[in-house]
Amino acid sequence: MPAFTTKDVQQLRQRTGVGILDAKRALEECDGDADRAVTWLREQGLASQAKRASREASEGAVAIGRTQTVASIVQLRAETDFVAKSDEFVRLADELAQLVAEKDESAVEERAADLDRLRSALKENISVGRVVRVEQPEGGALDTYLHMQSGRGVNAVAVALSEGTPSLAHDVATHIAFARPQYVSRDEVPADEVATERETVEKIARNEGKPEAALPKIVEGRMAGWYRERVLLDQPYVRDEKKTIAQLLGPARVVRFAQVVVGD
């Protein structure tokens, strides 16, 4: 008996885009372990990249609250786009975000009754998703960016800098909204993730028949591209790709950033 099912094969195909036979072979080679199978397919050149399993995308809205020294983001979830764009829904998201900015993350609990009333009125499952509060460092700068769609926020970012200006923080926040980094710097990336990716790209290069002497340079080049996808300081600035975010910042330092997107 194989250590996987037809459903496992289907899910692996969705993650990688490979055919049925390749998906089955990968699962056979990896004893049914889907994550290992994704890596195996990449190593064989059968999957161009490790696509994460698609998650059911919930609807909703994200809102930003502000005080002079604090920025907050609140995600309000809904089942349908119709409800997420309604005036009552968007207004509650805005009010919750401002409440969090003025108090703390737990302040959303004060509006539990309003959430219940909205669920009843709109006849839909509505819940609070991510709640984030970012404080301005002493002597630093803080700003936000909110991407709007159909009258509601769908992509919210807050950035705190140790130096610099609110304008610079806003520029970085705008970049983050579209580039979606996961980490500020390379040293924040978990070491096991780095080691796994380095091993994978080296195997890919060997399977491509690259000369042994050229492998270190090839691996470093591909790792640099991998870092650019997920590390803020390594990314080319979206408004001027000739400079990196590190160069844009100059002496300023990103103390913290937060990004919340509808569907997260």
What are the sequence ranges of the domains in the chain? 1-50, 59-184+237-261
- Structure confidence at residue 117 as a pLDDT band (50, 70, 90): confident
Q: How far apart are CA 10 and CA 65, in angstroms?
A: 42
Given this structure, which CATH class describes domain 1-50?
mainly alpha
Asked if the domains at 1-50 and 59-184+237-261 fall in one CATH topology, the answer is no
User: How confident is the model at residue 54, as a pLDDT?
Assistant: 35
Please answer whether residues 61 and 89 qualify as being in contact, where contact means their C-beta atoms are separated by less than 8 angstroms.
yes
Per-residue tokens: 20: 């049925």
pLDDT greater than 50 at residue 57: no
The pLDDT value recorded for residue 112 is: 87
Mean pLDDT (whole number) for 189-194: 96
Mean pLDDT of the chain: 90
CATH superfamily of 59-184+237-261: Elongation factor Ts, dimerisation domain (3.30.479.20)
Angle at 244 between CA 39 and CA 65, to 5 degrees: 90
Q: Report the C-alpha gap between 74 and 105 in whole angstroms.
A: 9
The pLDDT tens digits for 241-264 are 999 999 999 999 999 999 999 987
Read off the tokens for 255: 């103390």
Separation between Cα atoms, residue 96 and residue 115, nearest integer Å: 10
Question: DSSP character for 86?
Answer: S
Helix (H, G, I), strand (E, B) or coil at 223: helix
Using DSSP, state whether 215 is helix, strand or coil.
helix
Q: What is the pLDDT of residue 1?
A: 53
DSSP-assigned letter for residue 232? G
126 and 134 Cβ atoms separated by less than 8 Å: no
Q: What is the mean pLDDT of residues 151-157?
A: 97
pLDDT class of 211 with cuts at 50, 70, 90: very high
- What backbone torsions phi and psi does residue 139 show, to the nearest 5 degrees? 80, 5
